[in-house]
Amino acid sequence: MVSAFAVENGLCLGQSLCSEKSNEITAIPQLLELLIIKGCSVTIDAMGCHTEIAQQIIAKEADYILAVKDNQKELHTQVQKCLTLPSPQ
């Protein structure tokens, strides 16, 4: 089960059930399709860190915060490089 919450209001906005032989990767896009998220910030754990999901959020005119884990080596390295400050000289 994947749920969408409005944290500030303490409300569940919607849920999408994962099929028995699937996981959140298929349920997240289905739930996003149902929601009006224009102007919102969407946060998703590392399971939802996929290009297609990010593109869907952008297409709906929202922003996203997606978790990145070590198992996505190239993406993880790029994020680390962007967030690492240069050493003072």
Averaged pLDDT for residues 8-31 = 88
| Closest-CA residue to 38 (of 8, 62, 20, 7) | 62
Quick one: pLDDT at residue 3?
93
Give Cβ neighbours of residue 69 (< 8 Å, ≥ 6 apart): 46, 49, 76
Q: What is the pTM of this model?
A: 0.80
pLDDT more than 90, % of the chain: 52
Farthest CA pair distance, the chain: 56
In sequence order, what are the residues at sequence separation of 6 or more whose Cβ sits closer than 8 angstroms to the Cβ of residue 10?
none
What pairs with residue 11 in β-bridges? 6
pLDDT at 23: 81
49-77: average pLDDT: 91
